[in-house]
Every structure is written in C-alpha cells, then in structure tokens.
Amino acid sequence: MERQLVKTNGASSDRGPQRSAQLTPEAQARRGKADFLPSFAALQEAVRKACARHTDWQARVVAGVQAALEFAAADVDAASALTINARERASKEIDPEQEVITYFADLLKDATPAQMLFPICNEESLVESIAVVIRAHLQARTADKLPDLAPDLAYLSLMPYVGLASAGQWVDRESLTVR
C-alpha cells in the first residue's frame, strides 16, 4: 500500500465553494472547521504509516482499514470534510468524495492479488462500503464507535481475496476480533 499523496482534481481548494461566507452559523457549525485537502493528506499519511509497519499484503489491508476508522473517530471534522462535506461540494466538474474513494480503491488494488478468489465486487465498492459506514456514523454522531468496526470491515475487505476462513485468520492475527 505504498502510494504517494495525490493532488486532487479541482477539489484541492481548501476554501471550498465561495458560498461558504453565506452559510448560516448553524450550517457553518455542521460543516466543521476542517478543509478537504489537509484532511485528505492526513488520512493518506495515517494509512501509509499503518501499512508500512507490515510486510504481508493482508496485514497491510487490515492495518489500513483500522487506521482509516481510527482517523475518522479521532478527527470527526476531517472525516466529515472527506465524506459528508465532500459529497455536498460535488458538481459536474469535481467530486471530492469520489476522489477519496478512488484513491483508496487504487491503493487496495495495488496491494492485493490481481485476481479475487471470490470476485463478488471490486475495490471501489469495497472502499465505498467502508465510506458509507463512516459517513453514517458521522451523521449519527457515533464516530467514536468506528474503531470497534475494524474487525468486520477488515474481514469484508479481505474476504473476496482470501476466502472466509483466511480472512478471519488474518483479522485475528492482527489482534482484531471478528464478531
């Protein structure tokens, strides 16, 4: 999972749309204080560091999922900038949330075998599933519970490549527990 930080197409503006000055105080509070690009770079770095500690690709996948969930729980504003607020900023020209999903799907694809043992999905749908879970917890204001989901989401990410039993073994081996 060794990739470099990427500059985003059009979403690299840290200021967001110019309309932000017209937001009500309530809307500004919901939006949070984090900007997209620094949040994206911080998440990329957190995942890179977590993955770099491992040599087996399976362990890197588990570490990456866990790092993303811990990042979202620890910095709700940054996680919201990458999910909820990014979705709101989407237009015909840019889609910041899709850029995040595409980046991590490419990272997953680079780290995993070329062929899935059980080709039930693709890397983008795996990453998008994790993003949906994160977004839902952010909206429900339960982001602190995200690290508890690491075993299930790591298992989900490994299963198409290694099967049911092996996915469970890798999650257990990396000190997570499959529910």
* C-alpha–C-alpha distance, residues 176 and 169, integer Å: 10
pTM of the model: 0.80
pLDDT at 12 over 90: no
pLDDT band at 14 (very low <50, low <70, confident <90, very high): very low
What pLDDT is recorded for position 118?
92
pLDDT in tens, 124-141: 999 999 999 999 999 999
What pLDDT is recorded for position 170?
92
Average the pLDDT over 55-80 and give the result: 97
**Which residues are CB-contacts of 142 (< 8 A; sequence separation ≥ 6)?**
none
What pLDDT is recorded for position 8?
43
pLDDT band at 31 (very low <50, low <70, confident <90, very high): low
Q: Is residue 179 part of a domain?
A: no
**Which residues are CB-contacts of 19 (< 8 A; sequence separation ≥ 6)?**
none
- Percent of the chain beyond pLDDT 70? 79
Q: Is residue 9 part of a domain?
A: no
- Percent of the chain beyond pLDDT 90? 70
What pLDDT is recorded for position 90?
78
Residue 107 structural domain: 26-173
Q: Is residue 18 part of a domain?
A: no
Q: Is residue 111 part of a domain?
A: yes
Q: Is residue 11 part of a domain?
A: no
Q: Is residue 69 part of a domain?
A: yes
Q: Is residue 16 part of a domain?
A: no
> Is residue 33 helix, strand or coil?
coil
What pLDDT is recorded for position 22?
61
| Number of domains present in the structure of the chain | 1
Q: Is residue 1 part of a domain?
A: no
pLDDT at 69 over 50: yes
* C-alpha–C-alpha distance, residues 85 and 54, integer Å: 32
| Mean pLDDT score of the chain | 85
With 0-12 CB in 10 A as exposed, 13-18 as middle and 19+ as buried, what is 79? buried
Give residue 148's Cα distance to chain centre: 15
